[in-house]
Structure 1
């Protein structure tokens, strides 16, 4: 009988292959993710090993557009991640506390109006208490948090540059509370995959 344990070098090789693939995808698409403050190219080798090769992350690395925006199956997960990792500084509804508000059309860092820029700020950090989150959140989790923050948006749709034309047509400012089904269909569905 063969052992079901994987060899450490197989796991390391798989993680390395994932990182090389992510870098190649981003470079081939012409996307260069840069640190919000220094402008240095972000190093995805620093990212947590889980959540790097999901379909959502792969699509994001190719397009720079978060495929989870307005996907209800991702919003509930994004809300939970945001509440545990971000709300202490940014408020439960993204209204701002120690850190800036995230639910309106004013961005402390203007590049955060794009998904590419917002992701770069979360991954690589910014000024003051906003440290890099690559050791706290998986890449896929960052996209879910971003989708939730975008969903919290309360200002006129003209400022929601991240929405597709179809999403803009359906846009309603965040009402301040919302209940989601436990496991709605969509890209982030957790049961019955």
Structure 2
């Protein structure tokens, strides 16, 4: 094989692998993951390598719906991540401090009323002090934080498009002090025997 053919073959292989990785991370999906401020498409190749291929991330990138909402095994983890990574600006209950409140029906960025919009803001950042979190949180951790933020919601279900109809019927506003068992079953529960 000549040097030019070999180089072309390597480039084609790299382009194919990049395309496969991009598709696996949902970049070519029609879900519309865009930077909240600039509108540019998000590059999930910038995400931390761990936490990319969990069942929850795969389902979210296919559907645009956070599968961890209402999953008690994920909510406990989401609360812990939120308290360490987000509460300094958004308050322990999402009531807002330096950053906007997250527990009511007003969204600084209206797209955040959807899971795709909120994920895009967490991943790519927003204005003021809200920098991109792709270097701080894994994709899976972002979904857990989103589930916790949705759980903190205290307003009416009519303004909560992330809820399914069944979730809207069963909705009860967050009660401070609520706890979850360490061994709650669900998508985020440790595998048996580990």
Scaled to the shorter chain, the TM-score interval is: 0.7 to 0.9
Counterpart of 1:8 in structure 2 is none
Q: Which has the larger displacement, 152-161 or 91-100?
A: 152-161
Deviation of 1:95 after TM superposition, in Å, equals: 0.3
SS at 1:74 equivalent: helix
Counterpart of 1:146 in structure 2 is 146
Counterpart of 1:75 in structure 2 is 75
Contact 2:90–2:96 under 8 Å retained in 1: yes
Deviation of 1:20 after TM superposition, in Å, equals: 3.1
Rounded to whole Å, the distance in 1 between the matches of 2:18 and 2:188 is 25
Larger CA Rg, structure 1 vs 2: 2
The reply to whether residue 117 of structure 1 matches residue 80 of structure 2 is no
Unaligned stretches of 5+ residues in structure 2: 1-16
TM-score, length-normalised on structure 2?
Answer: 0.87
What is the number of equivalent residue pairs in this alignment? 177
Deviation of 1:32 after TM superposition, in Å, equals: 2.4
Deviation of 1:18 after TM superposition, in Å, equals: 7.7
Contact 1:18–1:52 under 8 Å retained in 2: no
Counterpart of 1:134 in structure 2 is 134
Deviation of 1:169 after TM superposition, in Å, equals: 1.1
Runs of at least 4 residues of structure 1 off by over 4 A?
A: 15-18
Unaligned stretches of 5+ residues in structure 1: 1-14
Deviation of 1:19 after TM superposition, in Å, equals: 3.4
Alignment partner for residue 19 of structure 1, among 11, 21, 35? 21
Within a 5 Å distance, the mapping from 1:1-193 to structure 2 comes to 19-23=21-25, 25-27=26-28, 29-192=29-192
Deviations 1:92-126 (A, max 9, x none): 00000000000000000000000000000000000
Deviations 1:68-113 (A, max 9, x none): 1111110000000000000000000000000000000000000000
1:17–1:187 distance in 2 versus 1, CA, 3 Å: farther
Contact 1:19–1:44 under 8 Å retained in 2: no
1:32–1:96 distance in 2 versus 1, CA, 3 Å: same
Counterpart of 2:10 in structure 1 is none
